[in-house]
């Protein structure tokens, strides 16, 4: 197995990316292609006594898509950018998966342009792992931004993809699937939610645990929660914001007074634990589901350990043939009755963007 790692993306590239990749190569016993500026990568490897080999190669690329760049425009201007070259490796079967840090939009666009959608998938989704109250039990929320106006069958496909991913890449034996909604009852929700609820209940292939309310997202009761990309994106960013605000409030209030200063000093290791448990970064970011390749996108702020984790998740997905499972099951599992009219206009799945 060979993983293509975009060595140039992320706040701490290439240093932390290379460190994580080198560690993963040895620890997970796989091949790694470091994609990016040959000179910069080679210099870093030499400086730290890491040796290029058949198992740790450099694949040259030119430039990166900046975090503030519009994805499609960036890709058009930089067809040899590190993310594009990484996807090309998978397309040419010279790599089995892509791991990159940051710019989810660019990764999504590059995956669609270079790899295309899996057959039977109308809309690929972006999944994100959020921490829950239960340590080491994240919840997979999807879609968090790829599709702002959804039809019921899109969400039904998100459910199938999310469940298979949870089961085979994350190792959750019997993942509990929830539909994000405003109440537990089948009659609750907006038009989309009511129709998706009904479709999931009628679908014998999808184990459906019912509606998940806002407070259930991080309770640890669900392993996979589906929603449209508008809701998911707002919720994800809100969660990140809340985490930051909570840490900021602790920082402001705890060290007040001499007792506060002493107490905060004594609690330093425990506060680090608190931060870790509240920190979404621990789970390595977003996943592209529904594109014809395994793509794991670590947070832009990823350090070596997050990159290692992302590579491990990618390896598990490849080992367990998550793509083949999605490919095989997505058609069988989608069964929205044609008789229920949709309030959302009938948008055909977009053609793959021109290559």
Binding site for its own copies (CB under 8 A): 132-133, 145, 148-149, 180-182, 189-191, 193, 213-219, 227-231, 233-242, 244-246, 248-250, 253-257, 259-260, 262-267, 269-271, 273-274, 277-278, 343-345
The answer to whether the CB of 284 falls within 8 A of the CB of 302 is yes
User: Which residues contact residue 246 at a Cβ distance below 8 angstroms, ignoring those fewer than 6 apart?
Assistant: 278
Compare residues 160 and 233 and give the one whose CB is closer to its own copies.
Answer: 233
Minimum gap (Å) between residue 219 Cβ and its own copies: 7
What is the maximal distance between C-alpha atoms in the chain? 68
CA gap 339, 355 in Å, rounded: 37
Minimum gap (Å) between residue 248 Cβ and its own copies: 6
Minimum gap (Å) between residue 218 Cβ and its own copies: 5
Minimum gap (Å) between residue 306 Cβ and its own copies: 20
Compare residues 164 and 192 and give the one whose CB is closer to its own copies.
Answer: 192
CA gap 314, 21 in Å, rounded: 12
The DSSP 8-state label assigned to residue 341 in this structure reads P
Compare residues 58 and 286 and give the one whose CB is closer to its own copies.
Answer: 286
> How many CB atoms lie under 10 A from the CB of residue 283?
22
Minimum gap (Å) between residue 277 Cβ and its own copies: 5
State whether the Cα torsion 237-243-246-250 is positive or negative: negative
User: Which residues contact residue 178 at a Cβ distance below 8 angstroms, ignoring those fewer than 6 apart?
Assistant: 209, 210, 211, 212, 216, 221, 222, 224, 225, 226
Compare residues 67 and 332 and give the one whose CB is closer to its own copies.
Answer: 67
Strands (E), the chain: 2-6, 31-36, 56-60, 97-101, 125-130, 139-142, 177-180, 211-212, 224-226, 286-289, 294-298
Minimum gap (Å) between residue 243 Cβ and its own copies: 8
Backbone torsion region of residue 33, taken as left when φ is above 0, otherwise alpha when ψ lies between -120 and 50, otherwise beta = beta
Compare residues 207 and 238 and give the one whose CB is closer to its own copies.
Answer: 238
Minimum gap (Å) between residue 144 Cβ and its own copies: 9
Compare residues 41 and 141 and give the one whose CB is closer to its own copies.
Answer: 141
Compare residues 43 and 242 and give the one whose CB is closer to its own copies.
Answer: 242
């Amino acid at each position: 197995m060979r993983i293509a790692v975009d060595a140039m993306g992320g706040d701490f590239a290439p240093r932390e990316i290379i460190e994580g990749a080198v560690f993963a190569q040895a620890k997970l016993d796989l091949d790694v292609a470091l994609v990016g500026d040959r000179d910069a990568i080679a210099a870093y490897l030499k400086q730290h006594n890491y040796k290029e080999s058949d198992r740790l190669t450099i694949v040259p690329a030119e430039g990166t898509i900046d975090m503030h760049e519009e994805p499609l425009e960036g890709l058009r201007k930089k067809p040899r950018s590190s993310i594009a070259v990484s996807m090309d490796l998978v397309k040419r079967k010279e790599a089995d998966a892509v791991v990159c840090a940051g710019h989810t939009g660019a990764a999504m666009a590059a995956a669609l342009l270079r790899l295309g959608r899996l057959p039977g998938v109308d809309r690929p989704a972006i999944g994100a792992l959020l921490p829950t109250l239960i340590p080491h039990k994240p919840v997979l929320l999807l879609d968090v931004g790829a599709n702002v106006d959804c039809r019921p069958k899109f969400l039904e496909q998100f459910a199938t993809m999310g469940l298979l991913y949870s089961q085979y890449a994350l190792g959750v034996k019997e993942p509990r699937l929830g539909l994000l909604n405003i109440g537990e009852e089948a009659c609750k929700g907006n038009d989309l939610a009511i129709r998706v609820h009904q479709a999931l209940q009628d679908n014998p292939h999808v184990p459906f645990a019912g509606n998940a309310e806002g407070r259930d997202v991080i309770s640890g009761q669900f392993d996979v929660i589906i929603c449209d990309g508008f809701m998911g994106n707002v919720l994800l960013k809100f969660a990140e914001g809340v985490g930051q605000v909570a840490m900021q409030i602790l920082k402001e209030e705890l060290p007040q007074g001499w007792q506060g200063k002493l107490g905060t000093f004594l609690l330093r290791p425990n506060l680090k634990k608190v931060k870790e448990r509240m920190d979404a970064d621990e789970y390595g970011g977003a996943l592209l589901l529904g594109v014809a390749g395994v793509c794991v996108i670590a947070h832009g702020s990823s350090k070596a350990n997050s990159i290692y984790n992302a590579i491990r998740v990618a390896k598990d997905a490849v080992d367990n043939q998550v793509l083949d499972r999605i490919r095989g099951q997505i058609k069988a599992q989608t069964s929205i009755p044609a008789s229920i009219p949709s309030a959302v206009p009938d948008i055909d799945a977009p053609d793959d963007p021109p290559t």
